[in-house]
Amino acid sequence: MSRRFLLAVVLIFCTAAAAHAQADLITEPIDDADRVPIAGHTREIPRSYADEGPLAASLRMDGLTLYLRPSAAQQAALYRLLLDLHDPRSPNYHRWLTPEEYASRFGVSPGDAVRIVDWLRAEGFTVGQVARGRSWMVFHGTVGAVERAFHAGLHRYRVAGQPHYTYASNPSVPRAIEGLVGAVGGLDDLLFRPVGRESAPASATAPVPAPKYTADDGTHYVGPDDLATIYDYAPLLQQGIDGTGQKIVVVGESVIQEDDLNLFRQYYNLPTPPVQYILPPNFNDPGVNNAMGEAILDLGQSRRWHATQP
**Tens-digit pLDDT string for the chain (310 aa):** 444 433 333 333 343 444 455 789 999 999 999 999 988 777 778 888 889 999 999 999 988 999 999 999 999 999 999 999 999 999 999 999 999 999 999 999 999 999 999 999 999 999 999 999 999 999 999 999 999 999 988 999 988 888 889 888 889 999 999 999 999 998 888 656 544 333 333 343 433 334 445 666 667 777 777 888 888 888 998 898 888 888 888 888 888 888 877 887 787 787 777 788 888 877 778 777 777 777 877 776 543 333 333 3
What are the pLDDT digits (tens) for 95-113? 999 999 999 999 999 999 9
Q: Is 114 exposed, middle or buried (0-12, 13-18, 19+ CB in 10 A)?
A: middle
Would the CA dihedral through 167, 173, 178, 180 be positive or negative?
negative
CA dist., res. 131 & res. 39, Å (int):
23
- Residue 306: DSSP 8-state: S
The answer to whether the pTM exceeds 0.75 is: no
CA atoms within 13 A on the CB side of 30: 20
DSSP 232-281: T-HHHHHTT-S-TT-EEE---SS---HHHHHHHHHHTT-PPPPB---PPT
CA dihedral 93, 94, 98, 103 (to 10 degrees): 30
Distance in angstroms (rounded) separating the CA atoms of residues 134 and 137:
8
| Pairwise CA distance, residues 213 & 239, whole Å | 28
Average pLDDT for the chain: 80
What is the pairing mode between strands 247-249 and 307-309?
parallel
Spatial contact of 224 and 265, defined as CB atoms under 8 Å apart: no
Identity of the amino acid at 306? H
Residues 6+ apart with CB under 8 A from 145: 123, 124, 125
CB 192 within 8 A of CB 163: no
